[in-house]
Amino acid sequence: MSSNEKGFDRREFLKGTAAVAGATAVGTLAPFGLAHAQAGKIKVGLMLPYTGTFAALGVAITNGFKLAVEERGGKLGGREIEYIVVDDESNPAKAPENANKLIQRDKVDVVVGTVHSGVAMGMAKVIRESGTLWINPNAGADEVTGPLCAPNIFRTSFSNWQTTYALGKVLKERGHKNAVFITWKYAAGDQAMAAFKEGFEKEGGKLVKELFLPFPQVEFQALLTEIASIKPDAVATFFAGGGAAKFLKDYQAAGLKGKIPLYGSGFLTDGVLEAVGDAAEGVETTLHYADSLNTKKDNAFRLAYAKTYKLQPDVYAVQGYDAGQLLAAGLDAVKGNVGDKAGLIKAMEAAKIDSPRGPFTLSKAHNPVQDMYLRKVVGKQNLVQGVAWKALADPARGCKA
C-alpha cells in the first residue's frame, strides 16, 4: 500500500517533465522506453483468461477495452496506457497470486478482470486488501457487488442476479404459471436459479422443480426426460458456451422444443448460434445486450470493432469496451492523476456510461443499473423484442460500503 502511494507520487512528479517531452514526436515514438513508461503511462493490468475454456471471452474483453482506449487516441486523462497482461487460466486456485503479480510486482494503477466467478472471488480478496482500483468486465458473482463491495471495486457487466431476475416477469406475461429451472451445480448456476425463483414467485408463478447437473457435464438426457415427465408451462435455464450449445440441441432433439417454451439468461444463446443451427430459433432470453439494438452508439461501436479486429463484437466485447469507458470517465475527471484516488472513484461512481448496450449508471455498490432486454433468436441473431425490465438494479445484498 505504502509503496503504491510512493509510486503515485513519483509518477506525479515525473509527469510534469514527461508532458514537455511527450509533446514532441520523439516521446511518442520511443517504443517501450523504460524511462518513458515510468514517466507518463498509466499501467493497466489485464487479468483475463487467454487459455482454456474461456479464452475467447478474454480476448473479446481485451479487444473491447483497447478499442475504447484507441478511440481516445490511446490516452485516458491525457496519459498513455501501458498494458500488463496476465493469463489467469480461469483457475481460481491461482487467482490471489495472479492478482498479486499485477499489484505488487507490476504496480499497476488499475486491474481489469476477469471472466470466471471463482477467479473474481480470489481477486476480490487481494484487491480489498491492497485498495487497488478494480474494474470487473464480466464475472457475475453476486458477492462482488454484494458483501464484498468496496469503494475501489467496479463492475461493467452484470450480476448473476440481474441476468435471470427479469425472466419471471416475462414468463408471467406469456401466461406461464409454473416453470422448471435447469442449470449446472455451481455458484453461478445457484445464483441465477435463486434470482429467477425470486422474480417468478413475486409475479405469482411457481418454480415446481430445480434441476441440477454436475458441472461441467453435458449429458442432459436424464434431466430432459425429467422435464418431459413434469410437463411444466415453461423451462428457464442458465448455461453458457459449449454446454449451452449442447443443451439447445438436445432440447430440440428430445422433442421438447415447440412443446414447452424455453427461456434463459442471454448467455444461453450468445456466441453459440452458429453452432446450434435452428435449435435455438425462437428461444427468448434476457440480457443487457442484443444484436439489433440499432442505436447510433451501438452501430458505431460494431462498425469500429469489426474494422479493427475483423470480428463481430459480442456482449463480452461490450463489457470490455465499457470498462475502458468507465476508466476514461474517471481519469478524465482527475486529468490522469491516478494518485487522486478519491476523486477518481467519485468520478467513476457518477459516470453515465454511453454504452453500446444503451446508457447506464452505477449503483451504490458499483454494479450497472441497466435495461434488461428481452431478446428472441431469429436466424443467427438475438433480436430485441423490447425491454424486459427498465433500469434493473442489483439489490446488492450484504453490501455495507
Partner 1 sequence: MTPARTRLFALLACALLLALFPLFGGTFYVQLIAKVMILAIFAMSLDLLIGYTGLVSFGHAAYFGLAGYALALLGPKYEAASLWWSLPAAMAVCALFALVTGLLVLRTKGIFFIMVTLAFAQMLYFVFHDTKLGGGSDGIYIYNKPELKIGDFALANLDKIEHFYYFVLILMLAVYLLLRRVLGSTFGRALVGIKVNEHRMQALGFPVFRYKLASYVLAGALGGLSGYLAAVQFGFVNPEILSWHKSGQVMMMVILGGMGTLYGPVLGAFAFVLLQETFSNQAWFGSLAKHWQLAMGGFVVLVALYLPRGLAGLIERKAQPAVEEEEKPKEKP
Partner 2 sequence: MDLAFFLIQLLNGLQYGLLLFLVASGLTLVFGIMGIINLVHGSFYMLGAYLAWSLAGLTGSLAAAIAVGIPLTVLFGMALEWLLIRRLYERDHLFQVLLTYGLILVFEEMRSILWGDDVHGLPVPALLNVSIPLTETLSYPVYRLFISGVCLLLAFGLYLLIQKTRLGMMIRAGASNRDMVQSLGINIKLIYTLVFAIGVALAAFAGMINAPLSSVFPNMGGQVLIICFVVVVIGGIGSVKGAMAASLMIGLADTFGQVLVPEVAGMIVYLLMAVVLVWRPAGLFGKA
Instruction: Tell me if 349 contacts partner 2 by CB under 8 A.
Output: no
Comparison of 263 and 316: residue with beta carbon closer to partner 1: 316
Spatial separation of the C-alpha atoms in residues 118 and 124, rounded to whole Å: 10
Q: Which residue is listed with cell 431476475?
A: 165
Instruction: Tell me if 182 contacts partner 1 by CB under 8 A.
Output: no
Chain residues 43-82 in contact with partner 2, contact rule CB under 8 A: 51-53, 55-56, 59
Work out which of 28, 38, 53, 104 binds partner 1, going by CB under 8 A: 104
The interface partner of residue 315, options being partner 2, partner 1, none and the CB cut-off 5 to 8 Å by kind, is none
Half-sphere exposure of 13 (CA within 13 A, CB side): 5
Spatial separation of the C-alpha atoms in residues 317 and 65, rounded to whole Å: 8
At its nearest, how many Å lie between partner 2 and the CB of residue 6?
39
Strand 284-287 to 361-362 pairing: unpaired
* Proportion of the chain in helix, strand, coil states, percent, rounded to 5: 45, 20, 35
Instruction: Tell me if 214 contacts partner 1 by CB under 8 A.
Output: yes
**DSSP-based three-state secondary structure for 199:** helix
| Interface stretch with partner 1, choices 10-18, 184-192, 194-202, 301-309 (CB under 8 A) | 184-192
DSSP 177-190: -EEEEEEEESHHHH
Chain residues 278-317 in contact with partner 1, contact rule CB under 8 A: none
Binding mask 124-163 for partner 1 (x = CB under 8 A): -xx--------------x-x--------------------
N-terminal to C-terminal alpha carbon distance within the chain:
20
At its nearest, how many Å lie between partner 1 and the CB of residue 94?
8
Binding mask 274-303 for partner 2 (x = CB under 8 A): xxxx--------------------------
At its nearest, how many Å lie between partner 1 and the CB of residue 7?
12
Work out which of 254, 304, 378, 387 binds partner 2, going by CB under 8 A: 254
The answer to whether the CB of 102 falls within 8 A of the CB of 47 is yes
Comparison of 122 and 330: residue with beta carbon closer to partner 1: 122
DSSP 19-76: HHHHHSHHHHHSTT-HHHHHHHPEEEEEEE--SSTTHHHHHHHHHHHHHHHHTTTTEE
Half-sphere exposure of 140 (CA within 13 A, CB side): 25
DSSP category for residue 311: S
Instruction: Tell me if 100 contacts partner 1 by CB under 8 A.
Output: yes
Instruction: Tell me if 312 contacts partner 2 by CB under 8 A.
Output: no
Number of chain positions touching partner 1 (CB under 8 A)? 32
Instruction: Tell me if 122 contacts partner 1 by CB under 8 A.
Output: yes
Instruction: Tell me if 222 contacts partner 2 by CB under 8 A.
Output: yes
| Interface stretch with partner 2, choices 34-42, 244-252, 301-309, 370-378 (CB under 8 A) | 244-252
Written as nine digits, the cell of 342 is 478519491
The interface partner of residue 223, options being partner 1, partner 2, none and the CB cut-off 5 to 8 Å by kind, is partner 2
Give φ, ψ of 338 to 5 degrees: -70, -15
| Interface stretch with partner 1, choices 100-108, 251-259, 272-280, 351-359 (CB under 8 A) | 100-108
Spatial separation of the C-alpha atoms in residues 141 and 6, rounded to whole Å: 33
User: Angle at CA 351, nearest 5°, toward 199 and 110?
Assistant: 95
The interface partner of residue 274, options being partner 1, partner 2, none and the CB cut-off 5 to 8 Å by kind, is partner 2
Spatial separation of the C-alpha atoms in residues 347 and 333, rounded to whole Å: 6
Quote the distance between the C-alpha of residue 129 and its chain's center: 23
Strand partners, 180: 209, 235
Chain residues 58-87 in contact with partner 1, contact rule CB under 8 A: 84-87
The answer to whether the CB of 202 falls within 8 A of the CB of 389 is no
Written as nine digits, the cell of 116 is 470466471
Instruction: Tell me if 217 contacts partner 1 by CB under 8 A.
Output: no
Spatial separation of the C-alpha atoms in residues 40 and 55, rounded to whole Å: 31
The interface partner of residue 187, options being partner 1, partner 2, none and the CB cut-off 5 to 8 Å by kind, is partner 1
Work out which of 241, 295, 346, 349 binds partner 2, going by CB under 8 A: 241
| Residues lying near partner 2 in the complex (CB under 8 A) | 51-53, 55-56, 59, 185, 211-219, 221-226, 228-229, 231, 241-242, 244-246, 249-250, 253-256, 259-260, 271-272, 274-277
| Residues lying near partner 1 in the complex (CB under 8 A) | 3, 50-51, 84-87, 91-93, 95-97, 100-101, 104-105, 117-118, 121-122, 125-126, 141, 143, 185-188, 190, 214-215
